[in-house]
Amino acid sequence: MSKHARFRFAMALAALAVWLPAAAFAVEDATLVDPDLHEQSIRFVSLSDGRLTYFDTDRRLRTASVDGFVLLRWDRTQAGPKSATAIVSASASAQSRWPNVAYLADGHVVRGRFAGVDAEGRVRWQTSNLGELTFTLDQLNRFDCAADAAAPGADASAGEATAGQDVVTLQNGDRLVGFVAKVGTTGVSLEANNETLPLSWGGVRSVQLANPMRNTPGVWMRLVDGTRLLVDRVDIGSIQAIGQAFGREVVVPVKAIAGIDFALKHRLMRLSELKAKIMDGGSVFGVPMPPRFDDGAAELHAPITLRFELPEGVHRFAATASLDDRTLDWADLNLTVADGKGKSFVQRLNADHPSATVNVPLRDRTLILQLDNATNGPVLDRLTLSNAVLLITNEH
């Protein structure tokens, strides 16, 4: 279907929606996030030519420009245990078929399979939606080589080069630090300690390059398998999304999309992308209880105080704080959010108030999260911060 045909179809759909109820459409529960990080629950219909069509909570059909939002997030995990299990299974299946992840310096994250190196020294990357891509070393920040290298949450280690040097991680876990002089069909040449080490691909697990990560403004599509693509001319209907990525057409099932970042004037950074420094606490009755971070979520146990050094341009933090339903008989804690100039949010969480919405401005480049025990001491004082994001203003 051509772009004009898709547009005419979307307009006809919108006109029909004026007098048909939302139940007549293939709509999905989703969330829109505005530049103040306020969330709005919607039922998504389509996205075409930079405009969203959706039903609001009053079942009224709306159309709006994507310029008024920073994120469109599908809420499929709220549909029920069977639906959530199906999504997790589908993601695990994709990771099995496409076990590697390439992190590009411009912000792309591409799940696929390492397919060796071509005659020009470019890394070959096979993907499910884009066919085979090739990347020069200058484009890459990190790529996995081993058949089982890309475990869930592997993106947390992206960007961790050692003091401007390259790192090659071997299958046995050893990390070799130096300079990747070249990659070839047989392996990697690493210069370290005034000698050149030839490393065969069979013994290499991943290659981390010292290329700095940068942020590219645009519309970014995030898939449930962790892929992140900068897309152009994207149209999303009830079944599939069509757009341009890496100069070629990409077609993705809507069920495979986790969200769309409208990072034109603003961009979102997941809290999991930052390194946390434990300032206090982090153990319970002598047992270490470090924080755990995943793509958009943080799991914490009181008592603990975390400090995050923020990049330039960050000016707001938002998250949903909630207790585990299984711990409500015991859990009782105080959550404090602060920056370098003082506290901006304090909330007690217990069985009477098991959740809270955090949305605070940040006045400097520091974020402090503090959990303190209340009644019952540190017994089962576990807190999850879901959809934990920071808002950054893009500089052009």
The 8 Å CB, 24+ separation contacts for 50-57 are: 53/10, 53/13, 53/14, 53/17, 54/27, 54/30, 55/17, 55/22, 55/27
CA distance 356 to 322: 7
Task: Name the helix (H) or strand (E) containing 206.
Answer: strand 204-208
Residue 83 has pLDDT above 70, yes or no: no
Per-residue pLDDT averaged across 110-136, rounded?
94
List domains and CATH numbers for the chain: 3-74+215-264 (no CATH), 85-208 (2.30.30.100), 270-393 (2.60.120.1060)
- The more confident residue out of 10 and 215 is 215
pLDDT digits (tens, 9 = 90+) for 261-316: 998 888 889 999 899 999 999 999 999 999 999 877 899 999 999 999 999 899 99
Tokens of 353: 């108030």
Q: Which of 1-10, 237-246, 249-258, 303-312 comes out lowest in average pLDDT?
A: 1-10
Mean pLDDT of all residues belonging to the chain: 86
pLDDT of residue 301: 95
pLDDT of residue 132: 95
pLDDT digits (tens, 9 = 90+) for 330-348: 999 999 999 999 999 999 9
pLDDT of residue 396: 43
pLDDT of residue 379: 85
CA distance 195 to 165: 15
Three-class SS of residue 329? coil
pLDDT of residue 97: 79
DSSP 83: H
- For residues 323 and 331, the answer to whether their CB atoms sit within 8 Å is yes
Residue 120: name the closest of 216, 199, 185 by CA: 185
Three-class SS of residue 214? coil
Cis peptide before 378 (omega within 30 of 0): no
Residue 102: name the closest of 129, 123, 128, 131 by CA: 123
pLDDT digits (tens, 9 = 90+) for 141-178: 999 998 775 443 344 444 455 668 999 999 999 999 99
In the chain, % of residues over pLDDT 70: 84
pLDDT of residue 238: 87
Q: Is residue 85 very low, low, confident or very high in pLDDT (cuts 50, 70, 90)?
A: very low
DSSP 226: S
What is the rounded end-to-end Cα distance, in angstroms, of the chain? Answer: 35
pLDDT of residue 171: 94
pLDDT of residue 161: 55
pLDDT digits (tens, 9 = 90+) for 86-121: 444 444 555 667 899 999 999 999 999 999 999 999
Per-residue pLDDT averaged across 208-230, rounded?
91
- For residues 31 and 41, the answer to whether their CB atoms sit within 8 Å is yes
Could you tell me where the DSSP H helices lie in 172-233? Answer: none
Task: Name the helix (H) or strand (E) containing 11.
Answer: helix 3-17
pLDDT of residue 215: 80
Q: Which of 82-91, 118-127, 131-140 comes out lowest in average pLDDT?
A: 82-91
- The more confident residue out of 306 and 378 is 306
CA distance 324 to 331: 8
Residue 14 has pLDDT above 80, yes or no: no
